[in-house]
Every structure is written in structure tokens, then in C-alpha cells.
């Protein structure tokens, strides 16, 4: 038979570890501190700002061959700004979710690095759209061909804001003649396209 006081302590320690694990899992599941929040800034203004930010990042993304990502932020008056920009790897990037005081996350944005025939990089990936849906935030994606996509977390649809060459284009870019991107994709349609590709 064990010491009842020791057993109680052991039980309390187990409970504390369990709670820490559960809390950690909950934090990981959603990192956006403003998930589901309706932006104050007008949608058109947000899209214009995202286009500018992505265009500015394209050159660096092409030369490094890495994804760059960040967040569009707004203050309480709806004035937009850009977060710090994170440098990712070839095909993923960690968003800077720790926000300055008084700033709110309005949209995610990322580039797709340099052109490669190994990636279907002219459309958002299933993971791109799914991540925004999970974080309950809209997003913008720039492609090597100079397209911009808008991902709407509520409708779960990705649509082209503007087509080839509407922002800086990678000189190495070659259009995919056999499988050109459609104007919009639902999550299901994107899964289908990605399935064909892989
Ligand atoms: Zn992406």
C-alpha cells in the first residue's frame, strides 16, 4: 500500500501535466488572436493594400527561392499596416501571430517563391485555404506568374484578384498551358486539382 499523501501529490502532478498538454494543443489549433473578427477597413482597401505589400515582396521571394509571409493589420480606426515579414522555406512559412498592442489581424498574405515545375504554384494550395479557414481569417497569395489570389475563410473559396503579370513576375516563370488555373476554386475543387497534380 502506498502513502496516501504521496498518491494525492502524484495525482495532482498528473492532472497538471494533462492540463498543460490540453491547453498547449488548444493554443496550437488556433494561433490567430482575432479569429473570426470582422475587419473595420473596407474589403477593397484591404485588397489594394495586400497587392502593394505582395508586389514589394516578389523580388526578394524570387531571388531567395523562399516563401515570404506576413499579416495585414489594422488599428481601432481601421487604418491598415503590414506586420513584420517572415521568411519561410521553399513551400511554407510561419505567420507572425504575436501582434503589437492595439493592432488586429485582418488578413494573411504570402508569396510562392520562385517558379518551379515541381509545384502547382499558380494557385493557392489546399493547405493555404485550409489554414485560413482554420484561423478564421481571409488571405492573399502571390504567385511566380504575378497573380494574386484571395482566400475567403467564410465561403471557403479561393478566387483570383488579378491575373498573370498584375504584380511582379518571376523571369523564370513559364505558363502551364495544359492546366491553366481557373478564376476560382472551392476547397473541394482545389483538392481535386491538387490530386491530379500529385
Ligand atoms: Zn501557398
Cell numbers at residue 73, please? 493589420
Q: Which residues, by Cβ under 5 Å, contact ligand 1, an ion?
A: 125, 128
* Å from CA of 112 to ligand 1 middle: 6
pTM for the structure as a whole: 0.84
Q: Is residue 9 part of a domain?
A: no
Q: Is 185 helix (H, G, I), strand (E, B) or coil?
A: strand
Taking the centre of ligand 1 as the mean of its atom positions, its distance from the CA of residue 103, in whole angstroms, is 24
Could you tell me which of 31, 27, 53, 55 has the C-alpha nearest to residue 132?
31
Q: Which three cell numbers stand for residue 190?
A: 482545389
What's CA 183's distance to the chain center, in Å?
19
Residue 19, in any domain of the structure: no
Are the C-beta atoms of 93 and 87 separated by less than 8 Å? yes
Model confidence pLDDT, tens digit, residues 113-146: 999 988 899 999 999 999 999 999 999 999 999 9
The percent of residues in the chain predicted with pLDDT above 70, rounded, is 91
Q: For 38, what's the count of Cα atoms within 13 Å in the CB-facing half-sphere? A: 1
Q: How many domains does the chain have?
A: 1
pLDDT tens string 51-99: 999 999 999 999 998 999 999 999 999 999 999 999 988 777 899 999 9
Q: What is the CATH number of the domain that holds 125?
A: 3.40.140
- Is 2 inside a domain boundary? no
Closest to 125 in 3D by CA, of 149, 89, 98: 149
Amino acid at each position: 500500500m502506498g502513502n496516501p499523501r504521496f498518491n494525492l501529490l502524484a495525482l495532482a502532478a498528473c492532472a497538471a501535466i494533462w492540463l498543460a498538454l490540453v491547453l498547449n494543443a488548444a493554443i496550437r489549433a488556433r494561433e490567430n488572436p482575432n479569429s473570426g473578427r470582422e475587419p473595420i477597413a473596407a474589403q477593397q482597401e484591404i485588397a489594394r493594400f495586400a497587392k502593394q505589400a505582395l508586389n514589394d515582396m516578389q523580388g526578394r521571394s524570387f531571388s531567395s527561392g523562399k516563401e515570404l509571409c506576413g499579416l495585414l493589420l489594422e488599428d481601432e480606426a481601421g487604418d491598415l499596416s503590414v506586420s513584420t515579414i517572415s521568411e519561410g522555406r521553399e513551400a511554407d512559412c510561419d505567420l507572425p501571430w504575436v501582434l503589437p498592442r492595439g493592432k488586429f489581424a485582418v488578413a494573411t498574405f504570402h508569396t510562392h517563391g520562385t517558379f518551379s515545375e515541381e509545384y502547382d504554384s499558380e494557385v493557392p494550395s489546399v493547405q493555404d485555404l485550409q489554414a485560413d479557414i482554420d484561423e478564421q481569417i481571409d488571405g492573399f497569395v502571390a504567385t511566380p506568374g504575378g497573380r494574386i489570389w484571395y482566400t475567403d475563410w467564410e465561403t471557403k473559396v479561393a478566387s483570383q484578384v488579378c491575373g498573370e503579370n498584375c504584380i511582379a513576375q518571376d523571369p523564370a516563370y513559364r505558363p502551364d498551358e495544359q492546366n491553366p488555373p481557373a478564376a476560382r476554386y472551392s476547397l473541394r475543387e482545389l483538392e481535386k486539382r491538387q490530386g491530379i497534380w500529385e
